[in-house]
Amino acid sequence: MSAAAESLAPSPATREYLAGEHLLLINGERVPAASGERIEVQDPATEEIIATVAGAGADDVDRAVTAARAALKGEWSTMTSYERARCILNFADEIEKNVSLIAEVEVMENGLPRMISEYTAVKFGAEFLRYYAGWATKIHGLTIPVSPMDARNGETLTYTRREPIGVVGAIIPWNAPLPMAILKLAPALATGCTIVLKPAELTPLTALLLVELAHKAGIPNGVINVVAGYGQSAGQALAEHPDVDKISFTGSTAVGKKIIEASTGNLKKVTLELGGKSPFVVFPDADLERVIPGAIRGAFFLQGQNCMASTRLFVHEDVFDTVVHGIAQGVGAMKLGPGLDPASMLGPLISGDQRDRVMAYIDAGKESGAELVAGGDALPGKGFFIKPTLFARTNMDMKIAREEIFGPVLCVQSFSDSDGLEGIAAEANKTIYGLSGSVWTKDISIAHKLAAMIDSGQVSINCHAAVDPAIPFGGNKQSGWGREFGMEGLEPYLKTKATTVLY
Ligand code: NAP
Ligand code: MG
């Protein structure tokens, strides 16, 4: 192997992991799918098949739910909150010890640059778990002064207990395999729930590896079960299952609506983290040295396969040309390549289908009259690479500005003083989504006023998509139901029981 090829090869540990047998994880055991089905996992940078995994069907989901239900009453339920916190902390430590292996597996099945994978494994793997481990010992109810049945003061007591909601079905997408799994597991573990996790069919390996580490960390059997499989079979069976208490879903708005329909059989609780088309508004006094790299990061992080991506830039006409030129220069210098190559700044899209979908949007953009300033085509050869693409002079009637593309396509639209904050907010809000957004200006009055007017679950000022385990995250409108992260992120995993004593 040449030195260059050597630097792109995964480590022996990763090769050994990939060459192993990838089965379902049910009740702490590695088991094949009842149907014997296998799903191929492809490296989107090389188009090679790197592994096959067992593909769960409804029978396997049923077994996993039974295991999770039993675990809810087992050792897990008798642990003290301190012991539960210790398990979660051990899990975090296991992730940190294995960052290199996890990152290589994640890079090979997803395509993201290794540096980003290693960063997120710590920040949204280990640290996210530690944040929620801290909450495990701080979940408690209230004592409430009441007077039922006309009881007098001192004759009654009502107290509330916060109980785990029960068996959680977690269904996640492929765009960030490690964070997506941890975002579901951490609050579910902290609250004492048990979980059946359905990773995306395109990226099941990271989830399987993570849950093996969770077992190594001492999380009891059956608390986390993994049913890799297809959405229409494993995902649908989980969402419909009568013994699942809650579904926590991250994915597209279209599938989110199917989850709601599937949940009606037993009225299970549902939280949804869905799509986005987030605005990024630049006023002429903004620090362009920060705006330009911020816009590039905001739009092209994970090749734009990012629900919070700032895909709609609204730039004041006075600085429009400077901003567009700066972004075009910046993206022109970005090196595309396999995530294992340390020089790669952007990886491939997840699949051939996704590349074709995104190219269809780019073609629609070219036909719409928008000005193509950078990118606009796919790379020839192996791998699903598309150049970071910039369209200027877009407007909200264009398909590329309205629909979530989930790829490296950025639309830039101008505004002027005559639009006023109302007019800017109206354009920013002209979307079915409401996930993220940002306002860039030194004027604190404009910044706070516009931040309040943007209809999104998260708005950042002079940065975009600020994420931290403690910052509540979730969508308004068709971007979702409920919030993850922070203290609020515990709520969907808890139910309240009120007990009243009359004495
Ligand atoms: P997706 O097609 O909605 O899939 C998400 C998950 O749902 C996958 O595991 C999928 O399985 C499964 N699924 C598909 N059909 C199902 C059904 N009928 N019943 C139950 N489960 C089903 O989304 P994606 O294409 O993987 O990911 C991209 C989308 O996720 C984008 O819209 C993006 O904005 C959104 N996203 C949102 C957030 C957020 O936090 N708000 C974060 C990341 C991504 P398969 O893998 O077999 O399809
Ligand atoms: Mg899908």
Ligand positioned closest to the Cα atom of 174: 1
Buried residues in 162-201 as b, exposed as e (16+ CB within 10 A): bebbbbbbbbbbbbbbbbbbbbbbbbbbbbbbbbbbbbbb
221 CB within 6 A, ligand 1: no
**The predicted structure's pLDDT at residue 2:** 55
> For residue 204, what pLDDT is reported?
98
- Cβ of 233 closer than 6 Å to ligand 1, yes or no, is no
Question: Is position 503 within any domain?
Answer: no
Active-site entry in 87, 193, 307, 411:
307
CA distance 387 to 390: 9
pLDDT < 70 positions in the chain: 1-7
Q: Is residue 86 part of a domain?
A: yes
248-281 pLDDT per residue, tens: 999 999 999 999 999 999 999 999 999 999 999 9
Tokens found for residue 330? 């910046």
- 307 tagged catalytic: yes
Residues 268 and 297 occupy one common structural domain = no
Could you list the residue range(s) of the whole structural domain that residue 79 is in? Answer: 3-274+481-498
Same domain, 241 and 290: no
Q: Between the CA of residue 469 and those of 7, 153, 186, 388, what are the distances in Å?
A: 33, 42, 10, 29
CB 247 within 8 A of CB 270: yes
Please indicate, yes or no, whether residues 303 and 261 belong to a single structural domain of this protein: no
Question: Residue 184 has what pLDDT?
Answer: 98
226 and 331 inside one domain:
no
* Three-state SS sequence of 194-244: EEEEECCCCCCHHHHHHHHHHHHCCCCCCCEEECCCCHHHHHHHHHHCCCC
The answer to whether the CB of 235 is under 6 A from ligand 1 is yes
Residue 475 located in a structural domain: no
My answer on whether 52 and 108 are in the same domain is yes
Cα maximum dimension of the chain = 85
Q: How far apart, in whole angstroms, are the C-alpha atoms of residue 414 and residue 313?
A: 8
Q: What is the CATH number of the domain that holds 443?
A: 3.40.309.10
Tell me whether residue 39 is in a domain: yes
Q: How far is the CA of 47 from the centre of ligand 2 (A)?
A: 18
Same domain, yes or no: 218 and 305:
no
Shared domain for 231 and 341, answered yes or no, is: no
Are residues 49 and 85 located together in one domain of the fold? Answer: yes
Cβ of residue 236 lying under 6 Å from some atom of ligand 1? yes
pLDDT of residue 8: 82
In a domain, 494, yes or no: yes
Q: What strand order describes the sheet that includes 156-164? A: 143-144, 156-164, 494-502
Take atom 20 of ligand 1 and give the residue whose Cα is closest: 235
In short, whether 230's Cβ falls inside 6 Å of ligand 1 is yes
The backbone region for 327, taken as left when phi is positive above 0, alpha when psi lies in -120 to 50, beta otherwise, is alpha
Q: In what order do the strands lie in the sheet with 409-415?
A: 371-374, 389-392, 409-415, 312-316, 279-282, 438-440, 460-461
| Ligand nearest, relative to CA of residue 473 | 1
Helix and strand numbers (H, E) in the chain are: 18, 20
- Return the pLDDT at 315: 98
Q: How far is the CA of 313 from the centre of ligand 2 (A)?
A: 27
179 lies in some domain: yes
Q: Do 285 and 187 have their domain in common?
A: no
Closest residue by CA, ligand 1 atom 36: 251
Kindly provide the residue ranges of all beta strands, DSSP E only, lying in 308-347, ordered along the sequence: 312-316
What residue's CA is closest to ligand 1, atom 45?
231
Q: Is 175 in the pocket of ligand 1 (CB under 6 A)?
A: yes
CB 224, CB 76: distance < 8 Å: no
- Give the number of domains in the chain: 2
| 233 and 252 within one domain | yes
**Ligand 2 centroid distance, CA of 88 (Å):** 30
> Looking at residue 385, what is its pLDDT?
98
Same domain assignment for residues 19 and 153: yes
**In the numeric block, which tokens belong to residue 415?**
């505004």
How many of the other CB atoms lie within 10 Å of CB of 372?
A: 14
pLDDT of residue 420: 98
Position 59 scores a pLDDT of 98
β-bridge partners, 160 = 498
Question: What spacing in Å lies between the alpha carbon of 254 and ligand 1's midpoint?
Answer: 9
Residues 6 or more apart whose CB falls under 8 angstroms from that of 95 comprise 102, 121, 122, 125, 126, 129, 210, 213
Is the shortest distance between the CB of 251 and ligand 1 below 6 Å?
yes
Q: Measured from the CB, is residue 60 less than 6 Å from ligand 1?
A: no
Query: Does the beta carbon of 109 sit less than 6 angstroms from any atom of ligand 1?
Result: no
Q: How far is the CA of 429 from the centre of ligand 1 (A)?
A: 24
In the block, tokens 């491939």 appear at: 348
CA of 273, closest atom in ligand 1: 41
Neighbours of 80 (CB within 10 A): 10
Looking at ligand 1, which residue's alpha carbon is closest to its atom 21?
235
- Known catalytic residue at 201: no
Regarding whether 55 and 195 lie in a shared domain, the answer is yes
**Residues 384 and 42: beta-carbon distance below 8 Å:** no
For ligand 1, atom 15, the nearest C-alpha belongs to 231
